[in-house]
Amino acid sequence: MRKRTILVLTHPDLVPPEVEGVLSTREAFEIKTEYDVVSTLRELEHDVHVLGVQWELRPIRDAVEQLKPDIVFNLLEEFHGETIYDQNVVSHLELMKVKYTGCNPRGLMLSRGKALSKKLLAYHRIRVPDFAVFPMGRKVKRPRHLQFPLIVKSLIEHSSLGISQASVVDTDEKLEERVRFIHERIDTDAIAEQFIGGREIYVSVLGNDRLAAYTPWELLVEKQDPDAPLIATAKMKHDPEYQAKKGIKIRAAEQLHPEVEARLLHDSKRIYRILELTGYARIDFRLDEEGRTWFLEANPNPDIAREEEFAQAAAFDGIPYPKLLERIVRLGLRQE
């Protein structure tokens, strides 16, 4: 691939240092994606510029006019502190006729809404848990069809924000308490869905029209409390000390029946297309004790740090990290 001018967009707090210094374990953990992407693109001899943005669109326009990048590598997960505004940044890039990596605005909108995505997929006969939405300012009343146990989440936030062991509830009192927590602490509507016991499986998908689905990966907790439900909490995802303490690993799923693995890969591609995703995404499933797969959510533009599950799954299937980033760039350049 020829040398490109690449503008990387990221949160201002996550701009990697230009000069290597001594970072704490937590600091290195927090910027690992940005550091891995920027340093690898530079190793590939691209002309890489990093811009931290969060409150104003004008800096993006100014940087585009000044640098005239071949492509914008989009690592933004929010704007104005709101997850749902990431689609507006991408829309802004489209209005400027600038190529970008990752998902298009429509796919971001369809997949970010957990209720909307489940409704669309249920219509297409993808198995999804029963659920109900609890808007802010409304009385918490569980519909009759919604049976315990339930897991309560933010309707729109991702990265397990607001999810802990207390998110799994088994009474109406606990349901109301957890919904109020989401309303008051996360400041979003809440969704409560049927909690599916079993294995937590992730499938990484890459592509626009021609899709590649990589070997399924699985969340494992070596020191799990036998009475605690297996859920990907915020601490599991974002606290390296907690990860080490609990022996949390995400690795290639073992002992999957060939038919189950084939169904996971097939359904992941179907879901990707139904939700009109582009670039790259991670599709999250539960695999219950009866071997049934349940769609949980789709994550467009997931974490692509070298050691995270997307890049690791690609590497497991023979796509090393530099080659993966090159493919993501090529997909962004071919948005027509």
281 and 169 both lie in a single domain? no
CATH number of the CATH domain containing 200: 3.30.470.20
pTM (two decimals)? 0.93
- pLDDT for res 156: 87
Q: Tell whether the model's pLDDT for residue 114 goes beyond 80.
A: yes
200 and 224 both lie in a single domain? yes
141 and 39 both lie in a single domain? no
Q: Which residues neighbour 315 within 8 Å (Cβ) at sequence distance 6 or greater?
A: 321, 324
Asked, for residue 182, whether it belongs to a domain, the answer is yes
pLDDT digits (tens, 9 = 90+) for 179-192: 999 999 999 999 99
**221 or 130, which is more confident?**
130
pLDDT digits (tens, 9 = 90+) for 117-175: 999 999 999 999 999 999 999 999 999 999 999 999 999 887 678 888 999 999 999 99
222 and 273 both lie in a single domain? yes
166 and 206 both lie in a single domain? no
Confidence of residue 45 (pLDDT cuts 50, 70, 90): very high
239 and 322 both lie in a single domain? yes
Asked, for residue 232, whether it belongs to a domain, the answer is yes
155 and 216 both lie in a single domain? no
Confidence of residue 23 (pLDDT cuts 50, 70, 90): low
In the chain, how many domains are there?
Answer: 3
> Which of 85, 100, 115 delimits the end of a domain?
100
200 and 327 both lie in a single domain? yes
CA separation (Å) from 85 to 77, 108, 109, 330? Answer: 9, 10, 9, 25
231 and 216 both lie in a single domain? yes
249 and 290 both lie in a single domain? yes
Helix (H, G, I), strand (E, B) or coil at 40: helix
Longest dimension (CA), the chain: 60
Which residue range is the domain that position 304 belongs to?
196-333
Asked, for residue 261, whether it belongs to a domain, the answer is yes
CATH number of the CATH domain containing 190: 3.30.1490
CATH number of the CATH domain containing 44: 3.40.50
- pLDDT for res 231: 84
Asked, for residue 125, whether it belongs to a domain, the answer is no
Confidence of residue 336 (pLDDT cuts 50, 70, 90): very low
